[in-house]
Amino acid sequence: MVDHAPFMQAAIEEARKGRAAGGIPIGSVLVLDGEIIGRGHNQRVQKGSTIRHAEMDCFEEAGRLPASTYQRSTLYSTLSPCDMCSGAVLLYGIPHVVVGENKTFQGPEDYVRSRGVNVEVLDDAECIAMMEEFIEAEPTLWNEDIGE
């Protein structure tokens, strides 16, 4: 059984890096055979990007990979992936998504499961606290990031 803790911790480090740079504290890592092959964090503020959510930034940083690699990988994200990031998971056939928390925001987890993906939610207190601090401090920025 895989120990999710070190990979979720790496995703949290990405999120904290983003927050320290004035950005939105969501981080993600892509893992293959126990090795991190991509890392990223939300870049809305830093790069003025509307598409570089943490998971997307992670996929972009991982670079062009064969389908067979995606299909054996696990994506870790500190927050429940939104519609866009969930769609990227489906496009590339990522079979397993480990989510830090879905209390402060919940993407289409049931739909993603219905498409055959194993979505695990850790309910991680550090992930929740990080988002609660951010949403209280920057509600307008947060709403922009989720299209509200």
By the criterion CB under 8 A, which residues form the site for a second copy? 44, 48-52, 56, 59-60, 62-67, 70, 82-88, 90-93, 108, 111, 143-144, 146-148
* 72 class by beta-carbon count within 10 Å (0-12 exposed, 13-18 middle, 19+ buried): middle
Catalytic (active site) residue 55: yes
Closest contact distance (angstroms) between CB of 114 and a second copy is 10
Which residue bears the tokens 């299909």? 71
* Sequence letter at residue 40: G
CA–CA distance, 24 with 138 (Å, rounded to integer): 9
Nearer to a second copy, 33 or 147 (CB): 147
Q: Pick the catalytic residue from 13, 14, 55, 109.
A: 55
Nearer to a second copy, 4 or 92 (CB): 92
Half-sphere exposure of 78 (CA within 13 A, CB side): 31
CA-nearest of 84, 91, 105, 74 to 11 is: 74
Active site residues: 55
